[in-house]
Every structure is written in C-alpha cells, then in structure tokens.
Structure 1
C-alpha cells in the first residue's frame, strides 16, 4: 500500500468497495479480502487481527491459513486487486490521448479525493500500510505496482515518439518516480498543508512531472 498502492492512492481505491462486492461470494480468499476492506472502511486502521477478519467473514482460522500465510499477504492481495482493476480502467481512459493529456488524466485519476468517509478511511489505511509491505514483501509489492509502472512507461514512450517528451529520458526511472509521486499524493496533500498552508494537488504533481519530461519548447 501503497495510493501506496500503495503505495495506494485515493484514485486507486475509488471503487474498492464495489469491486469487492462483485466477487464470487463462495470464494474464500475474496471473502477474507472483503472482510478486511469492511474493517478498513469502518476504522481506517490496519492493526486489526487475522481473528477479526475470520470472525467477520464467518469462516475459520484454518480456512484463512489455507489461503494466506499472514495478514500482510491478505492486504497485499487486496491492494493487488484494487491496483490491477484501477490500472485497467486508467489504461482505457488514456489509450487514445496524446501523451501529455494522457499523463494529465492518469494523475487526476490517481489523485482523485475520497468521495465518502468510508473511502477516505480505506485510502488512508492502505496508504499507511504500503511502507510496511514494501519492507516485508518487497518483491511481491513491486509486482503489484508493475502494471501501473508499465502504463506510465507506455505514456512516456508515446510522448517521446510524438516529440512532446525528451528523447534522452531514462524511461524506467522516470516512470518509477512519477508513479511514486502520484501514489504519494495523499501524504503530499497533508504534508504540503502543514509545511506551507497549501495542500499539494494533482495540478502540482502534473506540473512537476511534466516539467521533468517535456521536450524543449513544449509548454505545460
């Protein structure tokens, strides 16, 4: 978590509740994820126990450990589902746009504010847990973020091809930096308000990223 996503961002968890509700109700792993999501939506905290998830899902500890070794694996699976579904939608929304416009739309989606108190609690809980997952399950967490990283790479390569982005960019590194900047939007909003009194917005993030990518003569 990311969000992240996490890190996991506001945009990444925008439809998390509806996504979880749409899964096969007989799938035990999905039931555990749905229960964890419900706890997050109520409390905004990730310090719940496996037993709480089991009780919420009306299953058993034995069943839980047949599918997940730890709570970390459960939350990683939840973030994986949210990120993969969100990235698929974002790819569709940006597919036919020029690179600069695609980057603008993508950052807007990732930085979309929560539309409800429940969603805000989920966003914050998963975002705060992302640092922990990056330490305990770094390889698996990187895999979860790889679809978003690939989407940003595709947009940057599109911009290099059409001349709007610099040809000398390190695409892999630039994509990773943009991804982390956007997924950290929630924290940046809070930190920016504390430092300067002005929250960091999607506009700020886009301007910062585009300034690093743009070819000579291109305007923000």
Structure 2
C-alpha cells in the first residue's frame, strides 16, 4: 500500500499497474496476490486505511466539544484543502477513483465510508441530547446527507469543478448543515 500511495503522490493517477506497485515495493507478484486479488482491492484497502485513520483522529478532536462545534470541526477537516502537492495528487487520484469503486464495489465502498457516517450520527445524537439540534431529526438519513454534502463539495474542489467560480468551503457546508439541524 505504501508503494501505491507513493505512486499516487507522484502522479495523481491510479492507472498504474500491479507490476509497477510490485517493482516499487520490491516484492513479487505472488506476494501481491496473496494480499489483494486486484488493483481495485489494493486501492479500496488504501481508501479504507485513510478513512479509518482520519476518522479516528477526527473523533478524538470532536468527542469533547459541544455538537455544533464538533460538526464544524469535522466538516473543516473533511473539506480542508491539501497541505502539500503530494497530498493534492493523492486526493485527486483517489477522488477520481472513488467513483469507480462506488460503481464496481458498492458494498465495500459504503463500508469504507461507514466510520465517517457513524461519527456524524454520534455528533447528531449528542446535539439532540444537548438540545442544540432538533430532537425530531431522523439521524440516519440526516447523517448520510451531511456526509455526502461534505464529500461532494470536497470532490468538486479537488476536481476543479466549482459551479460558481469559487470553491465551496467548510464554513458554507457547516452553515447549511447547521440550519438543517436547528430545533
């Protein structure tokens, strides 16, 4: 996975071959296929690791603050621009590839996004308990809509497809979501 990530960081593309990954990692094809049956499985595992590790960090940063602040922090983290050209290349490559994974491996891709969705559900539940979010909210679809809004806005920015000639920022998403959650 480190080799695939390095290639992504250098090129911003996922059209590399399994052979390129094997050569970069100084392993064998047999070793690769003992862990992954396809390049798609490798990239899914990479996205899974990135999302799992990110969600753990985000949870640690949001657990001890009131729900509205936790939601703002989370949306800011999800929608933050890349901190380096390498990270920008990785984001760009994986953003393009996410559509392919969602299409070819929908259940696996949904599982990969699940930790973020659960974190958003937890924040909404906390907000309902605190009285800062509408107690009548249906948490599951609301969390999914918030997650999709944040990821969709990030996708537009990464791909350079702003609809209004200006990228959506975390504050735009947060303000939109907060209005939907208000009592």
Give the TM bin, normalised by the shorter chain.
over 0.9
> Aligned partners of 2:149, 2:156: CA distance in 1, in Å?
8
Matched with 2:11 is: 43
Three-state SS of the structure 1 residue aligned to 2:161 is: helix
Matched with 2:116 is: 148
Check if 1:99 corresponds to 2:61.
no
Q: Relative contact order, CA 8 A, sep 6+: which one is greater?
A: 1
Matched with 2:34 is: 66
Determine which of 127, 131, 137 is the counterpart of 1:159: 127
> Aligned partners of 1:135, 1:175: CA distance in 2, in Å?
22
Deviation at 1:177, TM superposition (A): 1.1
Is contact 2:117-2:143 (8 Å) kept?
yes
Deviation at 1:63, TM superposition (A): 1.2
Unaligned runs of 5+ residues in structure 2 are: none
Check if 1:207 corresponds to 2:175.
yes
Determine which of 147, 156, 161 is the counterpart of 1:191: 161
User: Once superposed, which parts of structure 1, at least 4 consecutive aligned residues long, lie more than 3 Å away?
Assistant: none
Determine which of 89, 107, 116 is the counterpart of 2:57: 89
Matched with 2:86 is: 118
Deviation at 1:185, TM superposition (A): 2.8
Q: CA RMSD in A?
A: 1.1
Unaligned runs of 5+ residues in structure 1 are: 1-32, 216-220
Describe the superposition over 1:144-163 as per-residue Cα deviations: whole angstroms up to 9, x where unpaired.
11111110000000111111
> Aligned partners of 1:196, 1:110: CA distance in 2, in Å?
20
> Aligned partners of 1:45, 1:203: CA distance in 2, in Å?
29
> Aligned partners of 1:125, 1:36: CA distance in 2, in Å?
11
Higher helix share: 2
Is contact 2:116-2:147 (8 Å) kept?
yes
TM-score, normalised on structure 1? Answer: 0.80
